Amino acid sequence: MSKHLERDLQNLERQLLTQASVVEGMIRTASRALCQRQADLVWEVIKQEQQVNAREVLIEEECLKILALHQPVAIDLRRTAAVLKINGDLERIADLAVNLGERVRSLAEQPEIHLSDNLEKMATITVEMVRGALDAFVEFDADAAEKVCRRDNEVDDLNLKLIDELHEVMRTRSDLVEAALYFFSATRHIERIADHATNIAEDVIYLVEGEIARHRHEEIRQDKSAR
């Protein structure tokens, strides 16, 4: 590998980590706003969306430039491909953080619903998954990435419990139906963020092992269910 390619790859990865730091902050803030019913925090999330979108385009352009100019192979090709894919997932996570913030703003105008701590647990695990996936990328750690994939099951289970709670609210309190629908949407956004964190972790496994790991965690869950 030429020193010019290594320099460009390192610069590309630095840009990705800068993007990751901003996006992680967005989901932390949006999750806190939801769990603590603090709609004023939402503006911190919304104002960062344009910055994230602009950097996402820049990173994609840099990836394509590396592919065109250096024609990387083997691990260098995987590094470039992983950054390209992770970049897309980060942008989608940022969009979901903004969507989550919008649900918080809508909920601020509704009567309060008292849910169990499953909501906070789900949000906390999701944020940890994003952080864990990004740490696995930095540390080139496929085992850590695999652990992130496994945690997606926890988020799915908590989401199902919350759906049951919200169904009960809607069944017994007609005045809270609209608020419950906003919560349905919010929990769906959190669950989707966890899915994207899983995608990032699978991209890390591909980067380290050279094996496409998409849907591997689903097979693990099916095996456990069959026992």
pLDDT tens sequence across 8-64: 999 999 999 999 999 999 999 999 999 998 999 999 999 999 999 999 999 999 999
At residue 116, the 3 state secondary structure works out as: coil
- Give the orientation angle of helix 216-226 with respect to helix 177-209, to 10 degrees: 110
Residues 6+ apart with CB under 8 A from 7: none
State how far Cα 138 lies from the chain centre: 16
Fold of domain 3-226: Methane Monooxygenase Hydroxylase; Chain G, domain 1 (1.20.58)
Give the H or E element holding residue 9.
Answer: helix 3-35
How do residues 137-160 score in pLDDT, each as one tens digit?
999 999 999 999 999 999 999 999
At residue 73, the 3 state secondary structure works out as: coil
**Which residue reads 């009567």 in tokens?**
111
Closest of 63, 70, 57 to residue 19, by C-alpha? 57
The reported pTM is: 0.92
Give the model's pLDDT for residue 217: 56
Q: CA-to-CA distance for 137 and 71, rounded, in angstroms? A: 22
